[in-house]
Amino acid sequence: MTDDEILLGLALTVVLATGSQILASKLRVPALIILLPVGFAAGAVTDVVHPDRLLGPDFSNLVSLSVAVILYDAGLGLDLRKLAHHTRGIVGRLLVYGVLLTFLVTGAVAPAMFDMPLRVAAMLGMILVVSGPTVVGPILDSVRPSDKVRRILIWEGTLTDPIGAILGALTFHAVASSHHIDIGRGYQLGQFFISLAFGLVGGAVGTALLWFTLRTLRLGETLGTLAQLAVVIGVSAGCDVLRDDTGLIAAILVGLAAANIRGFDMPSRRPFFETLVQLIIGLLFISISSTVTPASLVPVLLPALGLIAILVLVVRPLVAFGAAAHTDLSRGERAFVGWMDPRGIVAAATASAFSAGLVERGVAGAAKVLPVTFLVIVGTVLLYALTAGPMARRLGVVKEEGRRVLLVGGAPWVVDLGRTLRSAGLDVLMWAGLDEERERIKGAGLELATGDLLATAINPGARVEGVTAVFLATNDDDFNALASIVMQDNVEGPVYRVGPPHDSHGVVAPYTGGDILFGRSLVRHVLAERYGRGARFVVQPATGPLPPEYDALFVVRADHRLDPVTEREPATPQTGDTVVLLGPVPTAAGE
């Protein structure tokens, strides 16, 4: 290829990767649904979007390092404290049963379905054991299942990637070096544990380097992010040089350590890494799918559909049933876990690397591995993305939106507001710091949050689960302002605060942006004063115009979503909604 063609190919790959993800976000579908067909079409109609021509033999090494960065980022999102003992057991069984059953079933049916040797079928079976957080995560974000189900599936998808990659590498070497797979003599099992040991050592070295750069040197956000990237790539590459495909284990272990060792204090949001991972995923899927030709898909299309049916309707339900038996998962939760096993980037990456290696060695049937994997990825992602939402609602595992609100403050008017919101059908959780305020909340019959909830909520490395909106209404305006900034990334929904007095001379509150509850007229001291003079909160259906002298505070939608009236959003009520109002001061109050 000429220099101009290489430049055009690289630019087109970046544009297609970015454009596909933007389109997917607008359509509210997993990006993979757009990326794979776009990459396939680009490879079919152009001659420049081909990684083997753009990068040559170095492409597989870049894929390995890119996947290591993805898995490190995924490891940062895994908090061991949220993985209870019984949940940990379910995840472990899903991994063991899933790997064994997927490998054995695929290896058994693939020779007849795709006319390939048993050893190539074994290679295909090991490639298809992996799932991946880059596919499972977006689907779960759109479905919003219960926290327990989400944790199980995210942990399974994240941990199965490095395990599957290593097992795939071992199977590849066995297939490439002999005419059979060494099963039963302990050789491959021993090789697996040696690879695991290399990954563990690499993870320990990476964790030590990360501690040195982030804690000892105390690098800032920009240099600290660059240091993380350098450590992950350096350790992953070093492990792969010493032993193939052990860098993925090291990468995910470094991420797990950084997320769970006290002192790292990794933020829950990592804008640079999130952007980088999104770009890497897009580039990999566009590049890998461009290597799949229409001619290679046609002969395996119908058999691949049959394999997808076996994996979805037989293998995954059996794995989930065995893993969740005799646990506290409900029947609906077990069924949903059995209906969620899409394949993702690691399956595509390993299929691309291993099939090319086997084809170069002249192994019969190896050319079918990549197109079959491509079709399984597309088929499972499409199936689960389109059916996960209806299935979750049918099974009753969807987390209801907008009903769990956290109200922070213990003044009389705040407690009465919490009681009013509860009467409107919302699940209200309250927190206050003073003993007197906490007793007032208990006396009102409202649920009082644990004492460390706010400490968790403002911890940069924590994330409060189950809370869909936060309303800060303490008597300390600076606290409300600071907490609204820190908590934004730690809860699933929005964070609001009451406004400070207009003539406030606080340190932070008058100069902090963000949406203010109830607008600039109903600031904190005005609300407290009106309540003290007898004004009360009222809940009524939104059947017409508001009564005179009443101020709208919240709109409770027909589906129980809570929309507050803010300075920026008036929250106009619709038919079937309920409004929460603040009434006028009674004339008998002495006016």
- Of 224 and 23, the structure prediction assigns the larger pLDDT to 23
Cβ neighbours around 224 below 10 Å, total: 18
pLDDT winner (highest mean) among 97-111, 449-463, 468-482: 97-111
Which residue type is seen at 289? S
Take residue 257 and report the two structure tokens written for it: 């350590």
Distance from C-alpha of 519 to C-alpha of 538, rounded to nearest angstrom: 19
pLDDT bin (cut points 50, 70, 90) of residue 507 is low
Kindly state the DSSP code that residue 314 receives in the 8-state scheme: I
Percent of the chain, pLDDT > 70?
Answer: 87
Tell me the per-residue pLDDT of 124-153, one tens digit each, with 9 for 90 and over: 998 898 876 778 888 887 787 887 888 889
Q: What is the pLDDT of residue 50?
A: 83
Instruction: Quote the radius of gyration of the chain (alpha carbons, Å).
Output: 28
**The pLDDT of residue 243 is above 80:** yes
Q: What is the pLDDT of residue 385?
A: 86
- Asked if 431 and 453 touch (Cβ cutoff 8 Å), the reply is yes
- Asked if 111 and 121 touch (Cβ cutoff 8 Å), the reply is yes
- Asked if 342 and 311 touch (Cβ cutoff 8 Å), the reply is no
**The pLDDT of residue 505 is above 60:** no
Average pLDDT (389-401) is: 82
HSE, CB side, 13 Å, CA atoms: give it for residue 254.
Answer: 35
The helix/strand count (H/E) of the chain reads as 23, 10
Q: Which of these ranges, 145-149, 193-197, 405-409, 584-588, has the smallest mean pLDDT?
A: 584-588
Tell me whether residue 107 is exposed, middle or buried, using C-beta atoms within 10 angstroms of its C-beta: 0 to 12, 13 to 18, 19 or more: buried
Average pLDDT (422-448) is: 86
Average pLDDT (81-89) is: 73
Q: Which of these ranges, 105-109, 364-368, 516-520, 537-541, has the smallest mean pLDDT?
A: 516-520
The residues, any chain, with a CB within 8 Å of residue 431's CB and separated by 6 or more, are 406, 407, 408, 448, 449, 453, 454
pLDDT bin (cut points 50, 70, 90) of residue 591 is very low
Q: Cα 430 from chain centroid?
A: 28
Q: Which of these ranges, 175-184, 310-319, 357-366, 398-407, has the smallest mean pLDDT?
A: 175-184
- Asked if 176 and 122 touch (Cβ cutoff 8 Å), the reply is no
Q: What is the pLDDT of residue 513?
A: 56
pLDDT winner (highest mean) among 15-19, 135-139, 442-446: 15-19
Tell me whether residue 502 is exposed, middle or buried, using C-beta atoms within 10 angstroms of its C-beta: 0 to 12, 13 to 18, 19 or more: exposed
Tell me the per-residue pLDDT of 260-290, one tens digit each, with 9 for 90 and over: 887 776 665 566 777 888 888 889 889 888 8
Q: Which of these ranges, 80-84, 119-123, 536-540, 541-545, has the smallest mean pLDDT?
A: 80-84
**242: three-class secondary structure by DSSP:** helix
Tell me the per-residue pLDDT of 317-366, one tens digit each, with 9 for 90 and over: 999 999 988 888 889 999 999 999 898 877 887 888 788 778 887 888 88
Average pLDDT (487-510) is: 69
| Average of per-residue pLDDT values in the chain | 82
Cβ neighbours around 439 below 10 Å, total: 13
Which residue type is seen at 437? E
**The pLDDT of residue 114 is above 90:** yes
pLDDT bin (cut points 50, 70, 90) of residue 11 is very high
The DSSP H or E segment spanning 279 is helix 271-290
HSE, CB side, 13 Å, CA atoms: give it for residue 558.
Answer: 6
Of 141, 149, 109, nearest in space to 128 by CA = 109
Cβ neighbours around 568 below 10 Å, total: 9
Q: How would you classify residue 466: left for phi > 0, otherwise alpha for psi between -120 and 50, otherwise beta?
A: left
Distance from C-alpha of 262 to C-alpha of 271, rounded to nearest angstrom: 22
Distance from C-alpha of 367 to C-alpha of 352, rounded to nearest angstrom: 10
Average pLDDT (151-160) is: 85
Q: Which residue, chain included where needed, has tokens 């008017």?
A: 413
**The pLDDT of residue 220 is above 90:** no
Q: What is the pLDDT of residue 183?
A: 47
Q: Cα 180 from chain centroid?
A: 39
The residues, any chain, with a CB within 8 Å of residue 153's CB and separated by 6 or more, are 136, 140, 337, 340
Torsion of CA 382, 385, 389, 390, to 10 degrees: 10
What is the DSSP code string of 338-388?
TT-----HHHHHHHHHHHHHHHHTT-TTGGGHHHHHHHHHHHHHHHHHHHH
Q: What is the pLDDT of residue 97?
A: 93
Partners of 556 in the β-ladder: 562, 578
Of 523, 580, 511, nearest in space to 551 by CA = 580
